[in-house]
Chains A and B, each alone.
Chain A
Amino acid sequence: MSVLPEPAGGAPRAPQAGAPLLDVSGVSKRFGGLQALSEVNLRIATGQVYGLIGPNGAGKTTFFNVLTGLYTPDAGTFLLGGTPYQPVAVHKVARAGIARTFQNIRLFPEMTALENVMVGRHARTRSGLLGAVFRTAAFRAEEAAIAARARELLDYVGIGAYAPYRARTLSYGDQRRLEIARALATEPLLLALDEPAAGMNATEKTVLRGLIDRIRGDGRTVLLIEHDVKLVMGLCDRVTVLDQGKPIAEGTPAEVQRNEAVIEAYLGANHRAVSP
């Protein structure tokens, strides 16, 4: 299947392509004596693949965790699709429309691939205890819809054949794709991927790149944290570079690549001294 299924009822609607989707400003986070983030601003337009890069320890994952409610920020305003949201509880952020994957894959290992994606439908479905116990018509209809949608998404990321297998038995690349399918099941406005290419071989990276490209093509917005510079430069529409918790550059990949501050952050201030 090549087209991402249309969002069902209950999910927030995305703004027009090009309109701002995520607008965060002045985000700060301190851990004891370490200022992990200071005054980070980020604007992502609908339909973009937006890259967040930076050297190790620059604060990328911290920013991610703040954005998705895992850490409570010390300061900052957060707008998603034009409406403010408070990143105070992870499950509320997920319901507001930001779905994430994790740097170190966090699937539900003993559940099947299909069940993993079905869990992703939790935020957009509503049947409760009594519906389940009495198997009401509404419950059965919703269950069928959940399963059908989960299968569609498994097919979409290309692992439909593994639906009945436990998640832990899947290969590394397939686990990454399953995580993306599970995130897509929450019908996010913004899909946030934390180093999705980490630990992947060249073939797996190509497949992943194709998948992210396709997700953008289907009108989704993606925020990408990545170490792999080649992947970021080839895939992203815009990029922000973080260094020591501060944004030091913002622009298209080509602009950022020429930026003095970025070169300095990655290679060190004295890199010219050693070059001829």
Chain B
Amino acid sequence: MSADTASRRRLAVFLVAALALLVAPLLAQQMGGSWVRIMDSALLYVLLALGLNIVVGYAGLLDFGYVAFYAVGAYLYALMASPQLTEISPVLAHLFPGGLHAPLWLMIPAAALVSGLAGVLLGAPTLKLRGDYLAIVTLGFGEIIRVFVNNLDTVTNGSQGLSRIDPATVLGVDLSVRHTLLGVEFANVTQYYYLFLAMVVASVLICHRLERSRIGRAWMAIREDEVAARAMGIDTRNLKLLAFGMGATFGGVSGVLFASLEQFVSPQSFGLQESVMIVAMVVLGGMGHLPGVILGAVLLAALPEVLRHVVGPLRQISGDRIDANVLRQLLIALAMIGIMLVRPRGLWPAPEHGQAAPGTRRERP
């Protein structure tokens, strides 16, 4: 196969995939908004998994507290785009008589910045830790943030959560209201889908470019052998902090998107279970390999929801003797164990360079 036909074929695959991604929610919304909702949440998980992949997949830092940054982003948007702050602070109420209503386009970079800083702050004390020890400490940090939010009643409303959060508006278009364009009707979840998809595409591009850069190689060198990486002149402290911070920005942005979609946040959304699921997405898909990570995130995000529709009939057959939720959990667990046994490096790991046929070598610019 000549290079020309290969690149033409790649373009064709790309165009088909792009078209499918654009049309999919329009078809799914015919079957009901809940299906598009599943796709929305899958896209959010892809975003989270991409961010965690920088920390776990590239830099090799096992982080079980990643959901903390998701919470930081979500609560930041919730506070800045709901009546909460103006209700508890007369000063703010006086300054903003109409409410804060911070726009989404401002809050996305703000959340990236704030959660990036949080990532650096939480990463700093863990720099000397590796592997399982690091996992335990990050797990603790993740819980600390959740407990903190839960107990900061006056500001965050504690376990009752924050409601009345502004929906996302893009270029003046309120995404929570359905619109009709050129005779095609776009449900609210479908409009969110396009916003999330745009963020995912941008994130994939950023991750892909980081992976093939001096910074990305330094991260991977740290993952492979930290002492050898230092001997190459890599400042492992700074680069680990950069990985923590960079990963956290993705978590924060996902949090903003989540809060704008749900228009409600509460600490229950940011439990340990979420962190574990995101780590599982990265590991199950193929650590450090973008297509694998995306696949893992989509599978693990969509599988429980799809099973929900499958398990219902099973339950009816058994005459309500099987609890649907338990069965669902069991099937997911079995699937994960099965995948890890059969494909220990993940569903779609990075290809073995050089073991591919000659001529298909990866070329570098």
Chain A interface SS verdict (over half):
helix
Q: How far is the CA of A84 from the CA of B361 in the complex (A)?
A: 45
Partner of B217, one of A115, A133, A162: A115
A109 within 8 A of B: yes
Q: Which stretch, B10-18, B118-126, B220-228, touches the partner chain A?
A: B220-228
**Beta-carbon contact of A169 and B354 below 8 Å:** yes
Q: B283 CB to closest chain A CB, in angstroms? A: 15
Q: How far is the CA of A142 from the CA of B364 in the complex (A)?
A: 12
- List B contacts of A146 (CB < 8 A): 214
Q: How far is the CA of A185 from the CA of B232 in the complex (A)?
A: 9
Partner of B353, one of A90, A144, A166: A166
**Beta-carbon contact of B354 and A143 below 8 Å:** no
- List A contacts of B224 (CB < 8 A): 107-111
Q: How far is the CA of A140 from the CA of B215 in the complex (A)?
A: 13
Interface size, A (range): 35 or more
In the complex, residue of chain A having the shortest beta-carbon distance to the beta carbon of B206: A133
Interface residues of A in 134-148 (CB under 8 A from B): 135, 139-140, 142-144, 146-147
B362 within 8 A of A: yes
Q: How far is the CA of A90 from the CA of B212 in the complex (A)?
A: 25
Q: B247 CB to closest chain A CB, in angstroms? A: 13
Q: B18 CB to closest chain A CB, in angstroms? A: 21
- List B contacts of A154 (CB < 8 A): none
In the complex, residue of chain A having the shortest beta-carbon distance to the beta carbon of B238: A91
- List B contacts of A115 (CB < 8 A): 217, 220
Q: A226 CB to closest chain B CB, in angstroms? A: 19
Q: A80 CB to closest chain B CB, in angstroms? A: 14
Q: How far is the CA of A10 from the CA of B233 in the complex (A)?
A: 13
Partner of A107, one of B228, B355, B361: B228
**Beta-carbon contact of B353 and A186 below 8 Å:** no
Q: How far is the CA of A89 from the CA of B230 in the complex (A)?
A: 8
Interface mask (A166-210 → B, CB under 8 Å = 1, otherwise 0): 100100000000000011011000000000000000000000000
- List A contacts of B206 (CB < 8 A): 133
Q: How far is the CA of A106 from the CA of B231 in the complex (A)?
A: 10
Q: Which residues of B contact A (CB under 8 A)?
A: 206, 209-210, 212-218, 220-221, 224-225, 227-236, 242, 246, 352-355, 361-362, 364-365
Chain B interface SS verdict (over half):
helix
Q: How far is the CA of A241 from the CA of B137 in the complex (A)?
A: 46
Q: List 7 A-B contacts (CB under 8 A).
A: A109-B224, A111-B220, A118-B217, A122-B233, A132-B213, A132-B214, A135-B209
- List B contacts of A165 (CB < 8 A): 353-355
Q: How far is the CA of A112 from the CA of B235 in the complex (A)?
A: 21
- List B contacts of A185 (CB < 8 A): 232
Partner of B234, one of A114, A122, A133, A183: A122
Partner of A91, one of B234, B246, B364, B365: B234
- List A contacts of B242 (CB < 8 A): 129
Q: Which stretch, A36-44, A52-60, A92-100, A257-265, touches the partner chain B?
A: A92-100
Partner of B213, one of A109, A114, A127: A127
A240 within 8 A of B: no
Q: How far is the CA of A185 from the CA of B228 in the complex (A)?
A: 13
- List B contacts of A245 (CB < 8 A): none
Partner of B354, one of A68, A120, A127, A166: A166
